[in-house]
Structure 1
Amino acid sequence: MLLLAVAFIVAFVLLLYMVSPLISPKPLKLPGAHVVVTGGSSGIGKCIAIECYKQGAFITLIARDENKLLQTKKEIEKYCVNDKQVVLCISVDVSKDYEQVENVLKQAQEKLGPVDMLVNCAGTSVTGKFEDIEVNSFERLMAVNYLGSVYPSRAVIATMKERRMGRIVFVSSQAGQLGLFGYTAYSPTKFALRGLAEALQMEVKPYNVYVTVAYPPDTDTPGFAEESKTKPLETKLISETSSVCQAEQVARVIVKDAVQGNFNSSVGSDGYMLSILTSGMSPVTSITEGLQQVVCMGIFRIVGLFYLGSFDSIVRRCMMQREKSESADKTE
């Protein structure tokens, strides 16, 4: 069995070596590139825009709140590396009207040139038990988190294919890799981005266009702070099993992976493990990445089972405490 396993790994490495020229993309050069960031007025989106601007890119920020956009524009401009750089602000809801999204992106390209990298970062969250969440919240989250990424991507993909270059980034979440208590409305919308990204990558790879799916963990952003106000106790306790990352750190990782053309982008050891565990049939962009997935999958599955067991234990304890409290209230 051992010899068979070794032979399999060797054959796998040789296969990847043979096709590696077809796998590894050339890095995108950010100096002078046009980067569009949706949801760019705050949080991870703003930090991604700053990171790209620091590297010499021209930035188009897209968000709904015009005042926030103008404030963010001033903040980003502090990091300019040359006097030719421009930050363009567009106030639009990317989840409502495709034609409007298409028109504003055409305007942005007329001013700053074709889009070299699109970062879909617009998103929102609702937490709560499945039966307590309003039905229209499921519809709203799917519109913002999923269609809000479909529309901008659809508006720029044809030009990217014509130019034989481009990057599209979908900012998902670790909740888009693992369904957790309290995220029945949120997780499906982030899982959907993975399916879109895999299918789209297969379509556009021959045109030298590469797709990246980012899976940030809990990140210190205004959105995370707002979400924490309504989290069920179970969700809070599960979230506390891992640390909260800084938006600047997450942005640096996402930009680096997008520039390199990596399909998966994760942060930290937990993120790395989840990316291995959920790799499935997702594309790889290096021999090392494919080999790591093959070698680590088994051991990470064992670790993952311990995590799942601890999460189930948290949910059971909370349920028992709640029932005990309700029983005590009835007897008073």
Structure 2
Amino acid sequence: MAPTLTSARWTARHVLITGGSSGIGLALATGLQERGARVSVVARDADRLNALTDRPAPPGLAPFTARSADVADQDGLQHAITELTSTVGPVSDLITSAGTVRPGRFHELDDLHFREAIEVNYFGTLYAARAVLPAMLERRDGTITCISSAAGLYGLAGYASYAPSKFAVRGLCESLRMELRPHGIHVAAVYPGDVDTPQLAMEQPFKPPELAALAGTLRPARAATVADAVIRGIEARRPVIVPGTANRTVAILARLAPRLANAYADRIVAAALRHRPGVSPRP
């Protein structure tokens, strides 16, 4: 018997998820499979992909399909997507969840970290969208959902390499939404805060105290909770999806009252730096 989550909205649609082997992407893959979609995944980690495709599909549902590729490699990503469409069919819905983050102070980070953030987070999103869009335009049907970040709405100290790449994703999605809507294609951007994922665990040792203090004001969300909010947002055809009540409050504050948001953040940063040797933050 198929899970009760199965819905006609997703049945037999080919949903392609980049970065779908862990974190939010994996939670999305699982949730969409349960709803009846045919889910394919592109990610770099071949071992995680093998573990994913080795999972037995629930009764009556399609198994996962996967290919290994680096989203920053346009030719490699295009080849992987071509193979997946040959196997599963044209992509009905694209979700770009692949991403990278390396916290650190601007003057202490290597140039490589800035370049990698743009190549993976922005160009990885752009390349995937360009690969699936022609078929969507031909059918006049499809959705493109890009996982940005709360840092794509409000830049934080310690995220000087990460936030600009997520702002770029935001700009791309806003432009595409307006351009593609007349052609029957829905585009959404997702702005999650911290989510309890392997990526969050990997970045913790690199967070400067001021970023850790800012991030500590909100509890990390569960990946499954964020995935459910994203899926419901796509179903409702929302152009902006901000999971979590507290995260939405921060996003609204940053957009509507930036001076108040900045003053609040500045106080947290000053407090975090107060006990750092050689640093005397301005009052």
Task: Report the equivalent of 1:82.
Answer: 60
Matched-pair contact (CA < 8 Å) for 1:45–1:121:
yes
1:103 maps to which residue?
Answer: 79
With normalisation by structure 2, the TM-score equals: 0.91
Q: 1:318 aligns with which of 268, 272, 276?
A: 272
CA deviations 1:26-45 (Å, max 9, x no partner) are x9820111000100110000
The aligned counterpart of 1:69 is: 49
CA distance in 2, matches of 1:47, 1:178: 25
* Residues 21-36 of structure 1: pairs in structure 2 closer than 5 A: 29-36=9-16
Deviation at 1:260, TM superposition (A): 2.2
Q: Residues 292-319 of structure 1: CA distance to partner in whole angstroms, max 9, x if unpaired?
A: xxxxx5xxx2xx6544323212222333
Aligned pairs (5 A) from 1:1-332: 29-75=9-55, 77-78=56-57, 80-83=58-61, 85-96=62-73, 98-276=74-252, 297=256, 301=257, 305-323=259-277
Instruction: Please report the TM-score for the alignment, with normalisation by the length of structure 1.
Output: 0.78
RMSD over aligned Cα, in angstroms?
Answer: 2.0
Shift of 1:103: 2.4
Question: How far apart, CA to CA, are the structure 2 residues paired with 1:262 and 1:310?
Answer: 29
Shift of 1:273: 2.9
For residues 54 and 221 of structure 2, what CA distance do their matches in structure 1 show? 25
2:4 aligned residue: none
Distance 1:278 1:57 in 2: 36
**Structure 2: unaligned runs, 5 residues or longer:** 1-6
Return closer, same or farther for 1:186/1:325 CA change in 2, 3 Å cut-off.
closer
After TM superposition, what 4+ stretches of structure 1 lie above 6 angstroms from structure 2?
none
Q: Which amino acid aligns with 1:260?
A: A
Is the contact between residue 146 and residue 193 of structure 1 (CA under 8 Å) also seen in structure 2? Answer: yes
SS in 2 for 1:322: coil
- Tell me the CA shift for residue 277 of structure 1: 5.2
Looking at structure 2, the residues matched to 192 and 81 of structure 1 have their Cα atoms a distance apart, in angstroms, of 41
TM-aligned CA distance change 1:260 to 1:206, over 3 Å: same
Q: Which has the higher helix share?
A: 1
Distance 1:244 1:278 in 2: 19
> Which of the two has higher C-alpha Rg?
1
1: CA distance between counterparts of 2:59 and 2:251? Answer: 34
Cα distance, 1:278–1:235 mapped onto 2, change above 3 Å: closer
Q: Note if contact 1:217-1:244 (Cα within 8 Å) is conserved in structure 2.
A: yes
Aligned residue type for 2:60: N
Q: Give the direction of change, closer, same or farther, for the CA distance of 1:257–1:278 in structure 2 (3 Å limit).
A: farther
Q: In structure 2, what residue type is equivalent to 1:178? A: Y
Identity of aligned residues (%): 32
Q: For residues 188 and 28 of structure 1, what CA distance do their matches in structure 2 show? A: 38
Helix, strand or coil: the match of 1:122? coil
- Retained in 1: the 8 A contact 2:146–2:189? yes
Whole-angstrom CA distance in 1 between matches of 2:139 and 2:111: 42
